[in-house]
Amino acid sequence: YSRLPPEPDFYNEKQKPPSEWPTKGKIEFKNYKFRYRAELEPVLKGINLDIEPCDKVGICGRTGAGKSSIFQALFRLVDKSATEGQICIDDIDINTISLSDLRSHLNIIPQSPVLFSNTLRYNLDPFSKHSDEELWIALAMVQLKDKMSEISDGLSIQVAEYGSNFSVGECQLICVARALLKPSKILLIDEATANIDMHTDKLIQQVIREKFSAQTVLTIAHRLDTIQHSDKIVLISDGLVKAYGKPTDVLDDTKNDDIDLDDTDEKKKGTL
């Protein structure tokens, strides 16, 4: 192992956002540039993007276009010295607040489920902020309550490392249940349905539509059916916004060859 330096500005009592921030979930990228280290070329090369509160926005583009970098930028996973421009959430520049305040107000469902070797209760509610009843309600929303109720340990069942004692779909549903329990006006979904069966895929999409209607939701996806019902789609190409608008306008534009549809068969399957 090695010792890593702590992230600067993780806690900063002098620069705290308003207690109820964010109340809307509006996101603005203002000529934003992002590089992994100060000496490297930028991977985001001047992103300008206005995302309205409660909008459901799909993010697409070829591999390496910069889709995941947008999420990394929102979480401030690189030092401020390697960025230019601004990202504002509800009119507050995220560089002016602490990492703790920023990240605690963002919700994410990652592509690979993040589960810890601990109880199911801990994985759903790591900071013990909710009652068992609330945890069961969240499990019911993702159709896991019946299965977990049949297990004698219930919420105390031990989750193996990486959730290896659950299926990939079940692990992802646990992550969705955890997101349901965290109050946040912004939800980021990083290809969360890429490695699961069709039934679980549809269930997750249904839960997101019904239970996160009051949140701003950004979804990175490679499958068309994951984002075709979004309010808007943003097409990222070579670190820039190539197109942004209604799904029909972006997907039907023959000029947008950066939408990663491999061939006719893949188009029929809905892959991007």
Higher-pLDDT residue of 10, 241: 241
- Please, how many CA atoms are within 13 Å of residue 52, restricted to the half-sphere of its CB? 7
- Cβ(3)–Cβ(21) below 8 Å: no
Q: Is the pLDDT of residue 134 over 70?
A: yes
234 DSSP β-pair partners:
59, 244
Higher-pLDDT residue of 81, 57: 57
- Vertex 74, ends 220 and 69: CA angle to 5°? 50
User: If you average pLDDT over residues 146-154, what whole number do you get?
Assistant: 90
Q: Tell if the pTM clears 0.75, that is, is over it.
A: yes
Q: How confident is the model at residue 269 (pLDDT cuts 50, 70, 90)?
A: very low
38-77: pLDDT as tens digits: 889 999 999 999 999 999 999 999 989 999 999 999 999 9
Strand 107-109 to 240-245 pairing: unpaired
User: If you average pLDDT over residues 101-117, what whole number do you get?
Assistant: 93
Quote the tokens at residue 222.
Answer: 């490679």
Tally helices (H) and strands (E) across the chain.
10, 12
Of 166, 169, 216, 210, give the one whose Cα is nearest residue 189.
216
- Vertex 147, ends 143 and 149: CA angle to 5°? 110
CA atoms of 146 and 61, how far apart (whole Å): 39
Of 59, 111, 62, give the one whose Cα is nearest residue 247.
59
Q: How confident is the model at residue 130 (pLDDT cuts 50, 70, 90)?
A: very high
CA atoms of 245 and 37, how far apart (whole Å): 31
Task: Note the pLDDT of residue 1.
Answer: 63
Strand positions, DSSP E, the chain: 27-34, 44-51, 56-60, 83-89, 92-93, 107-109, 118-119, 158-159, 186-190, 216-220, 232-237, 240-245
Of 216, 233, 260, give the one whose Cα is nearest residue 63.
260
CATH class of the 107-183 domain in this structure: alpha beta
Task: Note the pLDDT of residue 9.
Answer: 75
Q: Is the pLDDT of residue 271 over 70?
A: no
Q: Is the pLDDT of residue 263 over 70?
A: no
- Least confident stretch, 106-110, 182-186, 194-198, 209-213: 194-198
CATH code given to domain 24-106+213-272: 3.40.50.300
Delimit the CATH 3.40.50.300 region(s) of the chain.
24-106+213-272, 107-183
Of 239, 225, 231, give the one whose Cα is nearest residue 212.
231
Quote the tokens at residue 218.
Answer: 């950004």
CA distances, 27 to each of 15, 68, 165 (Å) = 19, 16, 38
Of 214, 260, 211, 206, give the one whose Cα is nearest residue 233.
260
